[in-house]
Amino acid sequence: MRLLTEFVQDRVVLPDPSEEVHANAELSKIVTGEAAAAGECLKQADEFRNYDEGPLIERIRRTYHTMHTEQTIHFAKQIRERWLKFDHAEMTIMEALEVLNGIIDESDPDTDVPNIMHAFQTAERIRNVHPDKPWLQLTGLIHDLGKIMAFYGEPQWAVVGDTFVVGCEPEDKIVFGKKSFENNPDMKDNKLSSKFGIYEPNCGLDNLIMSWGHDEYMFQVLKHNGSKLPEEGMAIVRYHSFYPWHTSGGYSHLTNESDQEKLRWVREFNKFDLYSKSDPLPDIEALRPYYQALIDQYCPGNILF
């Protein structure tokens, strides 16, 4: 691994022990016990993505409210200029996964373990159901790799969480709803706060400017480095956090027919991304050779981040 700019590890905000003692105790029940030992999921489907209550709710609320205040159209354009120079590090995919070992997602109500665990959990779930789709398994492994931005000083509200379209009125289906955008400067602009904003009706996903986060960044990293993942895998990486669209049915006035195939694959992927979060913790060392072979096939060598 070759660092092109300096790590800023103290900006990776881990849970405050004074706030999270109870949270850790509660969340440990998700990944321990007899059911976990038997390889069973310890949560029911309707228990995931609970943004109303839970041991981590205050941390999550702060992250989203800051995100919905600071992520403006100007910010989205400006931050792309900084990150799409790909001048922060040169490393292999496996090295980047190791970096994720130091990141815990502040926006996620369903897990409080390092992101590398979730990466392998997702990949293994996909492998079990889709053994004939190695590209999808690898997509599961790398889908969150863009979160390494947190190690270079980027606050988590610009790295994690559900994404949304900037440059137009936010959908009420977004986590914490439209009210959480009340202090966003764009909401004071008649154009930027209107239904279509700066976009043409049904212009399509790829013509929208999304809020900045790990999805868009990792998509651009893969594209820049000539990844051999198929279009379906690239779409999953780019839009897997766009829950207001793929789960809640929002933004239909901006999407078009060509987005339907993307939607099908993102929804298929979401079953493994979301519901793997209470699976037993994987034996990463035992799995490493299998996934290294997939990396060598689709994303070999050093990658510029």
pLDDT at 299 over 80: yes
Specify the range with the lowest mean pLDDT, choosing from 28-37, 60-69, 279-288.
28-37
Percent of the chain at pLDDT exceeding 90? 69
pLDDT of residue 59: 84
pLDDT at 177 over 80: yes
| 15-19 CB contacts, 8 Å cutoff, 24+ apart | 15/56, 15/59, 15/104, 15/106, 15/112, 16/59, 19/58, 19/59
pLDDT of residue 28: 35
Question: What is the CB-side half-sphere exposure of residue 101 using CA atoms within 13 A?
Answer: 8
Candidate ranges 57-71, 194-208, 275-289; pick with highest mean pLDDT: 194-208
pLDDT of residue 12: 39
Amino acid at 204: G
The contacts of residue 126 (CB under 8 Å, 6+ apart) are 133, 136, 137, 139, 140, 269, 272
pLDDT at 8 over 80: no
- Return the DSSP state at 279: S
Specify the range with the lowest mean pLDDT, choosing from 53-62, 90-99, 121-130.
53-62
Neighbours of 135 (CB within 10 A): 18
| pLDDT tens-digit readout, 72-121 | 999 999 999 999 999 999 999 999 999 988 777 777 665 566 789 889 99
pLDDT at 27 over 60: no
* More confident call, 8 vs 167: 167
The contacts of residue 292 (CB under 8 Å, 6+ apart) are 94
Percent of the chain at pLDDT exceeding 70? 78
Distance CA 206, CA 222 (A): 16
Distance CA 276, CA 43 (A): 10
pLDDT at 238 over 90: yes
pLDDT at 223 over 70: yes
